[in-house]
Amino acid sequence: MSRARLAVIISGAGSNMLAIDDACRQGALHADVVCVISNRADAAGLAHAAARGIPNYLVAPTAGELRESYDERLAAAIQAATVDYVVLAGYMRILSHDFVREFAGRLLNIHPSLLPAYKGLHTHRRVIEAGETQHGATVHFVTAELDGGPRILRGVLTLSPTDDEESLQRRVQRIEHVIYPEALELLARGRLRQLDTGAELDGQTLVEPLERRFDF
């Protein structure tokens, strides 16, 4: 089975991108990060990708550019790299329906909450304010519904009384760096696919996402 070709799309630090690339290089993920694309010139992840010799591109929105036009340019950059999967990793723009349709079944995201709870921004703060005892991150297929596509794998932690927004951000990111490569490996091995109604693992409908618990 040939190695899966991944495009990783970022807006920031790119720590998930680095964890995915590490997993590829260490043999835990049967794939290669063949390009990294950012919408922001100041995304540190671009320089990290360059330092590793990964082809990296800035696709910056122009002033007043419509989402559809931007997404067409982003899609063209991805298509030029001939990839199997498009991996959103800290990409902070909402995608157009056409973009989601073009890459349906091949488009993934990681979100810092136990989806379907706490879609959107500031998840750590909202989790603390709500007095939750559990939190974590979720890898999911991307559909037109924001943070709403079929869920694949969740990493769960138990909040400690001393947790604040910053500690949760740190703890959840460590989880992300484990579960994103793990979910991608299922895809790369052809074990996982998106269906119209959800996801299928080893030929069985994934009724609930896979779950890993972490105590760090």
Q: How far is the CB of 43 from ligand GRF (least distance, A)?
A: 8
Binder to ligand GRF among 4, 9, 14, 108 (CB under 6 A)?
Answer: 14
Q: How far is the CB of 107 from ligand GRF (least distance, A)?
A: 14
User: Of the listed 48, 111, 135, 140, which one is catalytic?
Assistant: 111
Q: Closer to ligand GRF by CB, 112 or 150: give it.
A: 112
- Determine, following the binding rule CB under 6 A, whether residue 138 of this chain makes contact with ligand GRF: no
- Determine, following the binding rule CB under 6 A, whether residue 7 of this chain makes contact with ligand GRF: no
Confirm if 139 and 110 have CB atoms less than 8 A apart.
yes
- Determine, following the binding rule CB under 6 A, whether residue 209 of this chain makes contact with ligand GRF: no
Confirm if 192 and 30 have CB atoms less than 8 A apart.
no
- Determine, following the binding rule CB under 6 A, whether residue 90 of this chain makes contact with ligand GRF: yes
- Determine, following the binding rule CB under 6 A, whether residue 39 of this chain makes contact with ligand GRF: no
Task: Please indicate whether residue 111 is annotated as part of the active site.
Answer: yes
Binder to ligand GRF among 4, 12, 38, 186 (CB under 6 A)?
Answer: 12
Query: Stretches 32-40, 56-64, 94-102, 109-117: which one binds ligand GRF (CB under 6 A)?
Result: 109-117
Alpha-carbon distance of 188 to 137, in angstroms, equals 21
Binder to ligand GRF among 89, 95, 114, 157 (CB under 6 A)?
Answer: 89
Q: Which residues are catalytic?
A: 111
Binding site for ligand GRF (CB under 6 A): 10, 12-16, 45, 89-90, 110-112, 137, 173, 176
